[in-house]
Amino acid sequence: DIQMTQSPSSLSASVGDRVTITCRASQSISSFLNWYQQKPGKAPKLLIYAASSLQSGVTSRFSGSGSGTDFTLTISSLQPEDFATYYCQQSYSAPHTFGQGTRLDIK
Amino acid sequence: QVQLVESGGGLVKPGGSLRLSCAASGFTFSDYYMNWIRQAPGKGLEWVSYISKSSSYIEYADSVKGRFTISRDNAKKTLFLQMNSLRAEDTAVYYCARDVKVAGPGWLDPWGQGTLVTVST
């Protein structure tokens, strides 16, 4: 199985900060990497698919990059509504494993 | 609008069974792979299973293989998860999600609101 490792596991930041979350796969997954945002008590929401494609309706503050084993999610200027938990997921091969999540808190 | 609504969760004793349903609307259900994902209380997301458009291709996580069965009824636009031999560690919110594929592997969008399964005496 492909293991997905996110870093950091938690992060405190301020409104207006630029934030980067990293996701590393245990083997190459090409660009088959997706990012989701989850707020407490809610279902996850797709942000980025295929490593760098912004889902329709998602603010351009979010961007994704990477291929192979190393990927990043960047939030260009944090807004209050961005404080949430973020998960990466590989869809290269089953089981379609998720990273352990990165909790983004207000500093 | 595209919508997924799960049902069937509840409290069940260890060793018991439960069948979850996911009703789809707003899109052509038979055109999409479908997934189940779960989240234990206070924990991260765990992919559980997926099923192809015609049910010809199915995959499971090792943690549920041999105990859970995914299926679908395209005529009724409904996805199912039959869960047998339930364990305490199966306690979680179970989400269904549509698998969007353009060419090759895809992504999960949208997700349902989830249904809580609690396995306890």
Q: Tell how strand B3-7 and strand B107-111 pair up.
A: unpaired
Q: Are A95 and B45 in contact (CB under 8 A)?
A: no
The answer to whether residue A55 neighbours chain B at the CB level (below 8 Å) is yes
Backbone angles phi, psi at A67, to 5 degrees: -165, 160
pLDDT of res. B103: 72
The answer to whether residue A86 neighbours chain B at the CB level (below 8 Å) is no
Please state, in angstroms and rounded to a whole number, the distance separating the CA atoms of residues B41 and B100: 27
Q: Confidence band (pLDDT; 50, 70, 90) for B104?
A: confident
pLDDT in tens, B20-58: 999 999 999 999 999 999 999 999 999 999 999 999 999
pLDDT (mean) for A68-92: 96
pLDDT in tens, A18-37: 999 999 999 999 999 999 99
What are the tokens at B61?
Answer: 């996580």
SS3 category, A82:
helix
Question: Terminal CA-to-CA distance of chain B, rounded, Å?
Answer: 40
What are the tokens at B115?
Answer: 């249904």
DSSP B81-108: EEE-S--GGG-EEEEEEEEE-SSSS-EE
pLDDT of res. A107: 87
Backbone angles phi, psi at B30, to 5 degrees: -70, -5
In A, minimum Cα distance to B100 occurs at A49
Q: Are A24 and A2 in contact (CB under 8 A)?
A: no
pLDDT (mean) for A74-99: 96
Which residue's entry shows tokens 């005496």? B121
pLDDT in tens, B64-99: 999 999 999 999 999 999 999 999 999 999 999 999
In angstroms, what separates the C-alpha of B39 from chain A's closest C-alpha?
10
